Amino acid sequence: MRNPFLPADLHTTERPSSTAQWTTLGRAFELQRPPGDRIVTDEYAPVFLSATSRGLLAPLRLGSPLVRVAERHPLAGVSAFALCRHRFIDEHLSAALAHPHTAQVLILGAGYDSRAYRFADELAGRRVFEVDLAPLSRRKAAIVAAQPARFAGNRVERVEINFRADSLAERLAASGFVTGAQTFVAWEGVSMYLNSVAVADTLDTLGEVCGPGSTLAVDFWHRLPGMGPRTQVRRLGARAIALIGEPVTFGVAPADVAGLLDIHGFGVLDLVRSRELAARYSTGGRPCEESVYVLAARL
């Protein structure tokens, strides 16, 4: 039974995702840093901010020195992780697009992802399929349609779906996705909000519709061992996301994820935990949250 004091689940409501706005706000705020100090540069992020998020961006800018200090605290690592995760996927996308056999790009839970526009030159006409819940997909489409000059010349197919109820294969087929073609798949910030059945079904579908040599870039959450105070705070943080109607409902430990992916035909190429992720990409001494990690896998 749903708690009447909490927002309705995203899959049962018409509201857009709050976490999608939060990660976009993080990318927009990152633009305040000099280019060489940024983890990732997304010039499109401010365009997708809601009025509420734009209202938050102004005080963040004014309080920038204090924010920079707070960002270095170990318990503030979710923000840096979201940026480093984006950078990790960007780099694997670049590598895939450099391969002539990569025919299309699939972004699951696209949110306000701007790779279809940031990577327009590298895509070289390849189609990008952005899959997400209808309210978010429609809001994004309206923003893009309102600024045709900024977003011109990119082949984006928007695929509306309820990951818990709809058939991903059917929705993709209806949108013109080429089954069996070598595909780059970005599945960013989604798996932890699904259940184990939905995760397994999605991986099954990817194994069926993507061709050999396809790459999957994804992040996973896992429950940290131990009972220390910081671990307890992190667990409370994961539970607190339910307060915005987006509870964490799935996790898999880094030691177990290769077995999970192998069942569905994927082999891990590059698994990066929080400390290594921060060492690769972070700037300004910002740590990454320890309960999440990223990986790239090959079909």
Bridge partners (DSSP) listed for residue 218: 187, 295
Select from 297, 276, 291, 107 the least CA-distant residue to 188: 107
Give the chain's mean pLDDT: 88
Predicted structure pTM score: 0.88
Domains and CATH numbers, the chain: 10-298 (3.40.50.150)
Give the tokens for residue 144.
């893009």
Among 36-40, 159-163, 212-216, 218-222, whose mean pLDDT is lowest? 159-163
User: In sequence order, which residues have a C-beta less than 8 Å from that of residue 70 and are 6 or more positions away?
Assistant: 76
CA-to-CA distance for 291 and 299, rounded, in angstroms? Answer: 26
pLDDT tens profile 104-159: 999 999 999 999 999 999 999 999 999 999 999 999 999 999 999 999 877 899 99
